[in-house]
Amino acid sequence: MSSNSIYDVIVIGGGPAGMMAAGTAAKHGKRVLLVEKNKVFGKKLSITGGGRCNILNYEPNTRQLLPYYGESEQFLYSTFSQFAVEKTWDFFHGLDLSLVVEARRRTFPVSQKAADVVNTLVKFCKDSGVDMMPDTSVEGFVSNDNEISAVKTSRGNFASKWFILATGGSSHPETGSTGEGLRWLKSLGHTVKQANPNIVPLVAKDDWVKALSGTKLEPVKIIFLGKKTKLIKKGGILFTHFGLSGPTILNSAKEVKELLKDGEVSTAIDCFPDKEIGELRQDILDIFTANKNKDVKNILKTVVPPGMSKTIYGFLPLEMQIKKVHSTTQKERYLLADLLKNLPLTITGTKGLDWAVVSDGGVPLTEVDTRTMRSKVVKNLSLVGDTLHISRPSGGYSLQLCWTTGFVAGNNA
Ligand SMILES: Cc1cc2nc3c(=O)[nH]c(=O)nc-3n(C[C@H](O)[C@H](O)[C@H](O)COP(=O)(O)OP(=O)(O)OC[C@H]3O[C@@H](n4cnc5c(N)ncnc54)[C@H](O)[C@@H]3O)c2cc1C
Ligand 1 pocket mutation pick from 39, 41, 48 by most atoms within 8 angstroms of CB: 48
User: Distance between CA 32 and CA 17 in Å, rounded?
Assistant: 15
> pLDDT (tens digit, 9 = 90+) per residue, 291-311?
999 999 999 999 999 999 999
Residue 44 beta carbon below 6 angstroms from any ligand 1 atom: yes
Q: Does residue 176 sit in helix, strand or coil?
A: coil
Residue from 104, 116, 167 whose mutation best tests the ligand 1 pocket (most atoms within 8 A of CB): 167
Please report which residue ranges of 188-322 form alpha helices under DSSP H.
208-211, 247-260, 277-290, 296-303, 309-315, 318-321
> Is the pLDDT reported for residue 247 higher than 90?
no
Buried b (16+ CB within 10 A) or exposed e, 265-292: bbbebbbbeebeeeebbebbeebbeebe
Nearest protein CA to atom 30 of ligand 1, as residue: 168
393 lines ligand 1 (CB under 6 A): no
Q: What number is the average pLDDT over the span 237-262? A: 93
Whether the per-residue pLDDT at 372 is higher than 90: the answer is yes
Q: Give the residue, out of 11, 44, 92, with the most ligand 1 atoms within 8 A of its beta carbon, to mutate for a pocket test.
A: 44
Instruction: Give the pLDDT mean for 184-197.
Output: 90
Residue 53, ligand 1, Cβ within 6 A: yes
What is each CA distance from 379 to 141, 163, 358, in whole angstroms?
13, 10, 28
pLDDT reading at 195 higher than 80: no
Q: How far is the CA of 15 from the centre of ligand 1 (A)?
A: 6
Q: Which of 357, 387, 405 to mutate to test the pocket of ligand 1 (most atoms within 8 A of CB)?
A: 357
Which of 192, 78, 167, 165 has the alpha carbon at shortest distance from 380?
A: 165
How high is the pLDDT of residue 359?
66
Q: Which residues pair with 344 in a beta bridge?
A: 268
Nearest by Cα to 195 from 5, 359, 403? 359
- Note the pLDDT tens digit of each residue in 42-77: 999 999 999 999 999 999 999 999 988 888 999 999
Question: Does ligand 1 come within 6 angstroms of the Cβ of 166?
Answer: yes
d(CA 20, CA 136): 19
What is the mean predicted confidence (pLDDT) over 7-20? 98
Average pLDDT over residues 336-357: 92
Residue 159: phi and psi, rounded to 5, are -95, 155
Any ligand 1 atom below 6 A from CB of 410: no
pLDDT tens, 109-159?
Answer: 999 999 999 999 999 999 999 999 999 999 999 999 999 999 999 999 999
H helices present in 28-149, as ranges: 62-65, 73-80, 85-94, 114-128
Question: Is the pLDDT at 358 greater than 80, yes or no?
Answer: no
Can you give the pTM of this predicted structure?
A: 0.79
Contact call for residues 346 and 209 (beta carbons, < 8 A): no
Q: 56 by DSSP, 3-state: which?
A: strand
Could you tell me the distance, in angstroms and rounded to a whole number, from the CA of residue 44 to the centre of ligand 1?
5
Ligand 1 contact via 45 beta carbon (within 6 Å): yes
**331: CA distance to ligand 1 center in Å?**
53
pLDDT at 1: 42
For residue 2, pLDDT beyond 50: no
Q: What is the pLDDT of residue 391?
A: 82
Q: In whole angstroms, how far apart are CA 211 and each of 104, 208, 243, 308, 367?
A: 29, 6, 10, 10, 48
What average pLDDT is seen over the chain?
Answer: 94
